[in-house]
Amino acid sequence: MGKKLQFTELDQYLFGQGTNYDIYRKLGAHPDTQNRKKGVYFAVWAPNAQAVSVVGEFNEWDTEKNPMKKVGPIGVYETFVPGAKIGQLYKFYITGAHGEELYKADPYANAAEMRPGTASRITDITNYKWKDDTWMKNRENFDPDTSAMSIYEVHPGSWMKHPQTAEDEDGFYSYRELAPKLAQYVKKMGYTHVELMGIAEHPFDGSWGYQVTGYYAPTSRYGTPQDFKYLVDYLHRQKIGIILDWVPAHFPKDAHGLANFDGTAVYEHADPRQGEHPDWGTKIYNYGRPEVKNFLIANALYWVEECHVDGLRVDAVASMLYLDYGKKDGEWIANKYGGNKNLEAIEFFKHLNTVVLGRNHGTVMIAEESTAWPMVTGKAEDDGLGFSLKWNMGWMNDFLEYMKLDPYFRKFNHNKMTFSMTYAYSEKYVLVLSHDEVVHLKCSMLEKMPGELDDKFKNLKAGYTFMFGHPGKKLLFMGQDFGQLREWSEARELDWYLLGEENHQKLQQYVSDLLHIYRKYPALYGADNDPSAFEWINANDGDRSIFSFVRKSPTGRNNILIVCNFTPVARPDYRVGVPKKKQYKLIMDEQGLLPKGKVFKAEKKNCDNREFSFAYPLEAYGVGVFTY
């Protein structure tokens, strides 16, 4: 048999263009048979190295046994090691541009050693037998613009843990153990998608996975790449979508990682004013370099095409778009027009989103972007960035500021809850209450609420009802749906024991009711981007801190009217104006779902500047969800 795997001239050409989208099938470590010998093919890009060899358990880490040969001008080195086996650890030993001796983990490795070890591990990603054909076929027709999306954000290492023992001091659930437990919970609650944090390999638990060293390796904390695929496969068979956090904004300076890879700046900019984040102590990618863009875009495709994930939530987009992000004068370099926009990052996003979404219909690319940058979800050909959705950080900040207030002061801040509707259609949004809001002394969602414990629960229910009625997809971080009391910590599991208490049980059931109503009624999701499908009934009732609005269904059937009272004052004679002289059926109140529902007939009585209205008793912190 002749050579099977090699880095061909075509590979080199495409890599130099930044368009070798399957490059992870060549670079890295891949089991192969060459000249009738079984072994492993290794390839690495180290353009300015003087020499490269591969060291590992197959050669006693001897730097001279397996030198690699440079192929072509682009700086890729390759070799075949007969007898190297799946499961063995390895690194690249690089003699750097200035004679440095560097031991580097494989940037394209598909598995890594469990931290604190830093070596890469040989594995075979081609041998998983998928069983999610139905999901993958249906996914092609998924349209985020008109579909329900309620996302459960999960940090797998702290969602649930085994009791910690001397042998198992982390107590992590494996991907395979997590699969049925997570699927069961998500289905019971009614979420449509899970968003997983910290899946790509990272050295430090406390970074929550936002400082990545192994972009192509599902973290070994919870098992192998096959185990990770099993988790995705299992969720798909339970009709649950899966989104991953993805971090193309920066990378850590760890000695075994991408920084200074061959003794020179390979993945990052050489000038620290372009290549470093002073606040984060991390390196910034050089988005103008084709091979670097290729590394990242192929990585997005690896997760979506090789691992079947349904979308990526792209972290820290703003830090990529602005050259002066988190920097003082003198710490950054302007673009060629003298401005602060990172033109190369803009081009990168357009390229990334066009390729990922163009090749994988029905997947989503979600931007975590915290500024008013225009057209984040606009089409690339119209000079947008091409994302499917954008996190609505403005809504989140205003909503939390309002909810934290003593109810007496809410009347002076009424516009915090209405302002988001002035820009609700400028982008395609996800309303988020994410992990970022319940760490670093920000308090858990329940503890942010004012008043005694009972009041906290009532406030939170009213707040969640408002959120689920507001246009935009939904995201809740784990623990928020049952009223976690403590702030989140990656080091311990959620306080599931709280579900032994009635208040927490009732909140969990209430959120589940909201999730099920949200999915049942297209009025709440089918026209999120259509301004004519939302209408305030009364946006100005600041004195009573009551909000009322309607969401219209794309078909005109089963429209929804929502009323939320954000004070502890009951309004037994509350009257609400309505669009039509119809019957309005109360399907949910502050106690939860009403299986039978209660019908109110609109009468010809002027209210809220409308001809028709009906009266019903609105409780303290009460809500009403009606269909008509």
Helices (H), 8-141: 9-17, 133-139
How remote is the C-alpha of 349 from its chain's centroid? 16
How do beta strands 429-433 and 389-391 pair? parallel
pLDDT at 4: 81
Any idea which fold 151-524 has? TIM Barrel (3.20.20)
Q: How many CA atoms lie within 13 A of 322 on its CB side?
A: 15
Instruction: Name which of 91, 302, 108, 115 is nearest 222 in CA terms.
Output: 115
pLDDT at 3: 52
Domain ranges in the chain are 9-121, 151-524
Instruction: Name which of 22, 593, 305 is nearest 10 in CA terms.
Output: 22
pLDDT at 2: 44
One-letter amino acid for residue 21 of the chain: Y
Instruction: Name which of 582, 445, 591, 593 is nearest 518 in CA terms.
Output: 593
Q: How many CB atoms sit inside 10 A of residue 10's CB?
A: 9
Q: How far is CA 264 from CA 48, 90, 592, in A?
A: 7, 22, 60
Residue 233 annotated as catalytic: no
Active-site hit among 368, 437, 528, 619: 368
CATH code of the domain occupying 9-121: 2.60.40.10
pLDDT at 134: 98
> What residues form DSSP beta bridges with 474?
150, 431
Instruction: Name which of 120, 229, 129 is nearest 175 in CA terms.
Output: 229
Active-site hit among 113, 268, 306, 315: 315
Give helix 343-359 / helix 290-301 axis angle, nearest 10°: 30
Compute the radius of gyration of the chain from its Cα atoms: 27
Q: How many CB atoms sit inside 10 A of residue 328's CB?
A: 8
Q: Which regions in the chain score pLDDT beneath 70?
A: 1-3
Residue 603 annotated as catalytic: no
Q: How many CB atoms sit inside 10 A of residue 254's CB?
A: 15
State whether the Cα torsion 24-30-33-34 is positive or negative. Answer: positive
Cα–Cα distance between 291 and 304 in angstroms, integer?
20
SS3 track for 559-578:
CEEEEEECCCCCECCCEEEE
